[in-house]
Amino acid sequence: MSAPVAQFDEDARRVAGDTRQRAIVQTAMHKYEVVRDFRKPWFQDWNGARDQASRTKFEAINHLDRYLDQFASKLESRGTKVHWASTGKQAVEIILGILKEKNARTVIKSKAMTSEEIHLNDAMEKSGYTVVESDLGEFIVQLREEPPYHLVFPAMHLTRGQIQQTFEEKIGEKSSDSPEELTMVARRVLRQKYLDADVGITGANFGIAETGMISITENEGNARLTAALPKTMITLMGIEKILPRMEDLGLFLPVLAVMGTGQALTGYNTIYSGPRQAGEADGPDEYNVVLLDNSRTLLLADAEQRDSLHCIRCGACLNVCPIFRNVGGHSYGTVYGGPVGSVITPNLRGLQDWKHLSYASSLCGACTETCPVRIDLHHHLLQNRRNSVQEKPDFFMAQAFRMFAVVANSPGLWSMVTTMSRVGMKVRGWVNATFLDPARAWTKTRDLPPIAGQSFREWWKENR
């Protein structure tokens, strides 16, 4: 068993038995469902909006060379430095290089899943920089030295009591456990960090090709401050985040808000097109955009699953997924969890090591049904299963199916085997779910339905 499989098995089993964590997640997801369903009818045609979003991303991804080139040239023409990274390691080196050149000591970050993907915080801390996450949820999980639990709600698995305790232990801030007061503690502590920070690092929700802009969506204002106060600003963006035109935001911003958090529009939707320009009061003197491939071109090369690059990281598929709700965000062991994580991780990090995620699904299709850019998620899970077996056939499974084919093709053998298994089932009943039970893998957590006492052929003979 590979390490990711063992870790997934253990964590998924533990969380599935952790009724407290599951209750917290269920409550949060229920609140999400209520507001989301309240917002959807606000659109004149929600499914029409999804179709248009899907069409727009299809156009962008299938002409990525053209749009990416336009995007980079536009950014450069306004004084932004554009950097290209084929791997996560290269992106980290580029960013460390900028920090060194600027003699930076403190870095303030706004939420960026891409930075989790390349383990940027680790690398910066190892090189001696102080790194502060400014998004409240990210700040909390950073203090607890945990990865984010969810793409959109990083600390959704924690209770107010746990957060109160974290603040007291890690930053010596005593307060009540009211969410209001805890938020104000974080506001006060982080204010000073903003004023001290030399460099601000952000992620990107969209890159606008037509005008060379980075679009950042947030509620707290932390990304706005990250982009306003430090002298140097860096944006780390995956190359698939491209949208062709600025006007596309008019569709994508409300779609992302409704799917992500159930809001009509998130608090701050900001587009950045360069460093401080002549005549502007403030803003960074230098703006760096780091464009990251990190195996995204591998997904692009798979025409069948190319649409998984449409993903806008809204988290809607996680929220509706029965597996996510029961195994939780950390069990996946990946940066991107939930259905979309199970689709892309095997493609980005190795099919054989991560194929188990594509099996951790009931294939109910709730993810595909909700996806605002119409990624064919549950079919992609099936395709991952198929690809993994084609790439590395399982000898024992192949023999088992061969034997089954022989038995199923011969009426005599079939009736012999079914009669035998009726007897076998009775005997097995005595050892049900113990180590002597050959069906233990199934029966230790589930009932095994009994085999009927009489086959249809036998019944037919008697009752005809």
Footprint of another protein on 289-308 (CB under 8 A): 291, 293, 297, 300-301, 303-304, 306-307
Q: Which of residues 187-246 bind another protein (CB under 8 A)?
A: 187, 190-191, 195, 211, 213, 219-222, 224-225, 227-229, 239, 244-246
One of 330, 366, 376, 380 touching another protein (CB under 8 A) = 376
Token reading at 245:
């035109």
Shortest reach from residue 382's CB to another protein, in Å: 12
Closer residue to another protein in complex, CB, 87/410: 87
| Smallest separation, CB 444 to another protein (Å) | 34
Q: Which residue in 59, 146, 173, 458 binds another protein (CB under 8 A)?
A: 59
Tell me: does residue 64 bind another protein (CB under 8 A). yes
How does DSSP classify residue 309? G
Dihedral class, residue 58 (left if φ above 0, else alpha if ψ from -120 to 50, else beta):
alpha
Q: Does 183 bind another protein (CB under 8 A)?
A: yes
Structure tokens at 209: 């090709």
The residue (of 124 and 214) whose beta carbon lies closer to another protein is 214
Phi, psi angles (nearest 5°) of residue 109:
-120, 145
Q: What is the 3-state secondary structure (H, E, C) of 314-332?
A: CCHHHHHCHHHHHHCCCCC
Residue 23 and residue 18: Cα distance in Å, rounded? 9
Residue 136 in contact with another protein, rule: CB under 8 A: yes
Q: Cβ of 354: how many Cβ atoms within 10 Å?
A: 25
Nearer to another protein, 22 or 245 (CB): 245
Does residue 274 bind another protein (CB under 8 A)? yes
**Does the footprint of another protein cover residue 85 (CB under 8 A)?**
yes
Closest CB to another protein among residues 236, 360:
236
DSSP assignment, residue 215?
E
Q: Tell the smallest beta-carbon distance from residue 293 to another protein (Å).
A: 5
x/- binding map, residues 325-364, to another protein, per CB under 8 A?
----------------------------------------
- How far apart are alpha carbons 405 and 325 in whole angstroms? 38
Sites for another protein among residues 390-449 (CB under 8 A)? none
The beta-carbon contacts of 76-80 under 8 Å, at least 24 apart in sequence, are 76/212, 77/212, 78/212, 78/273, 78/274, 78/277, 79/274, 79/275, 79/277, 79/287, 80/212, 80/273, 80/274, 80/275, 80/287, 80/288, 80/289
28-57: which residues touch another protein (CB under 8 A)? 28, 31-32, 42-46, 48-49, 51-52, 54-56
